[in-house]
């Protein structure tokens, strides 16, 4: 007996073939795009589950494929590696009931389920939370959360050893003659470097000619890398290249206990010995943190002083993992600006509580919202 879903899927294909978007309203098409997204998730999950069973029965061999992943990749129009991951994920669904249910309903895609499986492997017991996160915020958010949990679950010393072993740098030429490269650096070396590149790139973009339209940030970052390596960069900016958050007790003891911080902002956990080693270095800066927010600096000018800036750039407690655009779902980490939640024009203070990081487009949007809300006039005295 054939599965009923086969007939329904074939009918869906025929319907989509004869569908003409121009005949429907924007609102109808928006709903359709949403429904099809859900169907696509349900289909990719169903496809992976069906393919896993077909392969376990050897059905791919009757179709002339020695390797099951090759057969699935050809059918699905994906790479072989993607097909392999989909199959592994389908097989792991047997042990992940909440994920299996969400995939079957089309609430979570097979790619999101793969991330949940990775998260469950490094940090058992996190499946249900990760599934909810996938439903609410999508693939990027789950990936980031799994990355964070994997780093937290690792011992800082082991992690440092593995990072050291995994470092590499290689380069090649592409069809345009460009010199391309790829590499991996431990955060103790890499975060300071990328922070300097981004600071220098921001400086170059601000100074980008009278022609007005500055190029993409990535292009300025490339120029920044070249000028830094040729010694022509402006050198360290007033902000620290690398910031380490470490609990005072851990710093004094020489190692961190579970739950204590010792990490590079934007770069994950590091051994306390690293925090100790850099605390005397001019380019690097260790910030000891005793679990209490100490920053209460506030004034009514626009200028953000160095102390307040350091506190702000640690990012929000309890993670202290650097700043990201405040706009939900944006997550941009570079080119951020400090937005006054209550605008300066409205007598809002320059204080820890009244400043939020936003990327340029979202800062602009927020400013427009404030303008329309009439917040650009100082409040009248009562």
* Residues binding Zn ion (CB under 5 A): 325, 327, 330, 332, 359, 362
Give the integer Cα–Cα distance in Å for 236 and 200. Answer: 9
Q: How far is the CB of 328 from Zn ion (least distance, A)?
A: 9
In the complex with Zn ion, the residue whose CB is nearer, 289 or 362, is: 362
Q: How far is the CB of 56 from Zn ion (least distance, A)?
A: 45
Q: How far is the CB of 363 from Zn ion (least distance, A)?
A: 8
Can you count the helices (H) and strands (E) in the chain? Answer: 16, 10
In the complex with Zn ion, the residue whose CB is nearer, 60 or 366, is: 366
Backbone angles phi, psi at 24, to 5 degrees: -120, 160
The secondary structure of residue 358, as a DSSP letter, is E
Q: How far is the CB of 152 from Zn ion (least distance, A)?
A: 26
Q: How far is the CB of 359 from Zn ion (least distance, A)?
A: 3
Q: Count CB neighbours of 269 within 10 A.
A: 21
In the complex with Zn ion, the residue whose CB is nearer, 80 or 143, is: 143
In the complex with Zn ion, the residue whose CB is nearer, 236 or 316, is: 316
Give the integer Cα–Cα distance in Å for 128 and 100. Answer: 11
Structure tokens at 290: 């005793």
In the complex with Zn ion, the residue whose CB is nearer, 140 or 305, is: 140
In the complex with Zn ion, the residue whose CB is nearer, 41 or 362, is: 362
In the complex with Zn ion, the residue whose CB is nearer, 270 or 336, is: 336
Q: Is the separation of the CB atoms in 35 and 27 below 8 Å?
A: no
How far, rounded to the nearest angstrom, does the alpha carbon of residue 303 sit from its chain's CA centroid?
29
Backbone angles phi, psi at 355, to 5 degrees: -120, 135
Give the integer Cα–Cα distance in Å for 188 and 167. Answer: 12
In the complex with Zn ion, the residue whose CB is nearer, 133 or 325, is: 325
Q: How far is the CB of 202 from Zn ion (least distance, A)?
A: 15
Q: How far is the CB of 72 from Zn ion (least distance, A)?
A: 37
- Please, is 84 exposed, middle or buried when counting C-beta atoms within 10 Å of its C-beta (0-12, 13-18, 19+)? middle
Is the peptide bond between 313 and the residue preceding it cis, with omega within 30 degrees of 0? no
Q: How far is the CB of 349 from Zn ion (least distance, A)?
A: 23
Please report the sign of the dihedral spanned by the C-alpha atoms of residue 193, residue 199, residue 201, residue 207.
negative
Contacts 24+ apart (CB under 8 A), 361-367: 362/325, 362/326, 362/327, 362/330, 363/337, 363/339, 365/327, 366/327, 366/339, 367/339, 367/343
In the complex with Zn ion, the residue whose CB is nearer, 86 or 339, is: 339
Q: How far is the CB of 144 from Zn ion (least distance, A)?
A: 15
């Amino acid at each position: 007996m054939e599965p009923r879903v086969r007939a329904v899927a074939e009918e869906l294909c025929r319907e989509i073939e004869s569908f003409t978007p121009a005949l429907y309203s924007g609102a109808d098409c928006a709903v359709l795009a949403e429904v099809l997204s859900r169907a696509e998730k349900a289909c990719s999950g169903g496809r992976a589950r069906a393919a896993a069973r077909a392969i376990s029965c050897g059905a791919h061999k009757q179709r002339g494929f020695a390797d099951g992943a090759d057969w699935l990749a050809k059918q699905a129009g994906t790479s072989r590696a993607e097909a392999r991951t989909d199959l592994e994920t389908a097989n792991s669904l047997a042990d992940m009931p909440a994920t299996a249910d969400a995939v079957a309903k089309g609430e979570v895609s097979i790619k999101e389920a793969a991330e949940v499986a990775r998260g469950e492997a490094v940090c058992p017991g996190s499946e249900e939370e990760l599934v909810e996160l996938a439903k609410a915020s999508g693939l990027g958010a789950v990936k980031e959360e799994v990355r964070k949990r994997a780093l937290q679950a690792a011992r800082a010393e082991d992690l440092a050893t593995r990072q050291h072993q995994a470092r590499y740098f290689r380069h090649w030429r592409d069809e345009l003659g460009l010199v391309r490269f790829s590499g991996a650096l431990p955060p103790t070396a890499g975060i300071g470097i990328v922070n300097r590149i981004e600071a220098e790139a921001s400086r170059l973009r601000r100074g980008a000619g009278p022609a007005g339209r500055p190029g993409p940030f990535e292009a300025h970052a490339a120029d920044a890398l070249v000028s830094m390596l040729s010694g022509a960069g402006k050198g360290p900016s007033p902000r620290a290249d690398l910031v380490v958050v470490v609990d005072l007790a851990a710093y004094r003891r020489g190692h961190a206990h579970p739950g204590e911080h010792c990490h590079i902002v934007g770069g994950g956990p590091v051994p306390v010995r690293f925090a100790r080693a850099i605390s005397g270095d001019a380019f690097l800066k260790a910030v000891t943190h005793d679990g209490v927010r100490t920053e209460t600096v506030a004034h009514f000018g626009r200028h953000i002083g160095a102390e307040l800036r350091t506190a702000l750039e640690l990012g929000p407690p309890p993670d202290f993992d650097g700043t990201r655009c405040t706009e939900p779902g944006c997550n941009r980490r570079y080119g951020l600006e400090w937005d006054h939640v209550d605008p300066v024009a409205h007598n809002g203070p320059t204080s820890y509580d009244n400043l939020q990081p936003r990327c340029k487009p979202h800062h602009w949007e927020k400013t427009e919202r404030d303008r329309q809300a009439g917040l650009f006039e100082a409040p009248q005295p009562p």
